[in-house]
Structure 1
């Protein structure tokens, strides 16, 4: 749940924020590995979701971040956060 310091906030935006769950990068990779295991192979999962084998291998090894197709297939959205240092 979020606390807003001023009285001016959008109740609908607050509801969306409360419904969202932040997922750590490691958890995304865990979800991806579990999805691949359910599919039976990385090649099969990649074909099903339009993700090339080299790119998928790079994501799984941590060399590249997961892109839109992978995140969409996992039901995970991308968030940009302002003010974190």
Structure 2
């Protein structure tokens, strides 16, 4: 079964994608800043504390994944721009 990594997986579209892939029997890794109760209830493997716009967090994610192979990456994390 494929391994699917989903950023922004703690709510919204990312959480729905986690549900869908889990229902298909795929291995799902949820990547986000903070896990929500809904994400935890799904039983998704969570890598938390990750802000994909921060290079240090990306390095932390790389270390957390180690040599694990990812078949599909869904980069769903949103970045909100600052208003000036």
TM-score norm. by structure 1 comes to 0.31
- Give the number of the structure with larger relative contact order, counting CA–CA contacts within 8 Å between residues 6 or more apart: 2
**Which structure features the higher share of strand residues?**
2
**Which structure features the higher share of helix residues?**
1
- Structure exhibiting the larger radius of gyration computed from Cα positions: 1
